[in-house]
Amino acid sequence: MKRIFSFFMDDLLFSISLFVALISCFFGKFSIESIDFKVIVCLFGLMLLVANIDKLGVLTYLAEKLIDVSINTRALIRNITLLAFFSSMLLTNDVAILSLMPIYLTITKKVPDMNHKLTGAVLLIIAANLGSSFFPFGNPQNLFLFSYYSLAAGTFFNWAFLLLLVSFVFLFLSFFWIKKSPIPNQEEPLPSIDQRNIIYLSLIGLLILIGVFDLLPYSIVIPIAILLLGIYDSSSLKKVDYRLLATFIFFFIAVGNFSQLETISLLIKKQFTTSSATFFGSIAVSQVISNVPAAILIAPFTAQTKALFFGVNVGGLGTIIASLANLIGFKIYKQYYPNQSKQFLLMFSLINLIFLIGFIVLFYFIL
């Protein structure tokens, strides 16, 4: 019993999502279609790829190089944050966090006296969420909205550029709050990496991205990539965070079940009729069920497309579950610093609240 209790208490997000999913089954009929298997399969493949890359020493190498080009801790956090911001446009927010958070945390291990370590981790997650909004394929909610409303490319990019510009200004201003501290010289030589393994893993990574971007059916190419990674190093399968994958599944089940309630459908139709109501409402819903399910839940009941676009993208800020990418960042941080979960959640909530208030005030007048 102690082991079971410890298992559930060790990961409260997993436990809460399981509880909510079970409760939701009393209000709606479970459907396997509620689960977005593409998200689950792609996330599993990306986790496995990062685990193999980490074992190869690539993350340590990149961490050393990033330290070399940064003159102080502020520059270091700025460089990794902006890298997350721009790379997430093409790689998606999940991939950017999965790839860059381990590099950043490897750096913090090498610079133990680094100031604003938590701040840097939170800004990296925020940057990945905001930057990924520029292209339709950068995150799931925009891909859904772009397809569901049959948006013209020009219309989408007009909205996305405005969000991108404001996001960049907010991020740039946030760097001034980070204290400049010198980074000690790294006397250790850069680790040697087998080029053949790099090429092999890069090709598998390309195969995964082909599936993520639907250039080929993900149901074919991602399992092939997973099989190749498993053959390359079967021990990496033990490093995958299976409870995080389960957490995603539980959230999908809960949203699918609750959305079947007629009272919820009627409430959404009644509330999401104006631009401001849709903007604020989609932000509020995102805080509870995350922005991707919020977009899927609200879209059929409102014609306020622009307000919904800004609402679900800004709504990724706020709580730890406002964006599923937030969960990924938190879980990775917890792996590196298992005793700092409370500090992380506190800092995450504080910084996200500041960003969220700033966006709400600004876009309220724009919309």
Q: What is the DSSP string of 178-237?
A: SPP-BPPP--SPPPP--HHHHHHHHHHHHHHHHHHTTSS-HHHHHHHHHHHHHHH-GGGG
Rounded-to-integer distance, Cα 60 and Cα 231, Å: 23
Residues whose CB is less than 8 angstroms from the CB of residue 20 and which lie 6 or more positions away in sequence, other chains included: 250, 251, 254
Percent over 70 (pLDDT), the chain: 92
Q: Using one digit for the tens of pLDDT, what is the confidence trace for 289-331?
A: 788 778 877 887 888 899 999 999 999 999 998 988 898 899 8
Question: Average pLDDT of the chain?
Answer: 84
- Is residue 164's pLDDT more than 70? yes
Position 245 scores a pLDDT of 84
Position 88 scores a pLDDT of 85
Q: Are 87 and 131 in contact (CB under 8 A)?
A: yes
Q: Are 208 and 45 in contact (CB under 8 A)?
A: yes
β-sheet bridge partners, residue 271: none
Rounded-to-integer distance, Cα 110 and Cα 43, Å: 28
The confidence band for 130, taking pLDDT boundaries of 50, 70 and 90, is very high
Q: Using one digit for the tens of pLDDT, what is the confidence trace for 192-204?
A: 677 888 889 889 9
More confident residue, 58 or 153: 153
Position 187 scores a pLDDT of 56
CB crowding 69-107: b at 16 or more within 10 Å, else e? ebeebbbbbbebbbbbbebbbbbbbbbbbbbbbbbbbbb
Rounded-to-integer distance, Cα 113 and Cα 24, Å: 46
- Is residue 132's pLDDT more than 80? yes
Position 189 scores a pLDDT of 58
Burial class (CB in 10 A: 0-12, 13-18, 19+), 217: exposed
Rounded-to-integer distance, Cα 314 and Cα 279, Å: 9
Position 188 scores a pLDDT of 57
- Is residue 15's pLDDT more than 80? yes
Position 192 scores a pLDDT of 67
β-sheet bridge partners, residue 72: 182
Q: Global pTM? A: 0.76
Closest CA to 13 of 238, 334, 350: 334
Question: Of the given ranges (1-5, 233-237, 356-360), which has the lowest mean pLDDT?
Answer: 1-5
Q: Are 245 and 331 in contact (CB under 8 A)?
A: no
Q: Are 228 and 197 in contact (CB under 8 A)?
A: no
- Is residue 186's pLDDT more than 60? no
The mean pLDDT of 151-170, rounded to a whole number, is 91
- Is residue 92's pLDDT more than 80? no
- Is residue 367's pLDDT more than 70? no
More confident residue, 10 or 160: 160
The mean pLDDT of 270-284, rounded to a whole number, is 86
Position 81 scores a pLDDT of 92
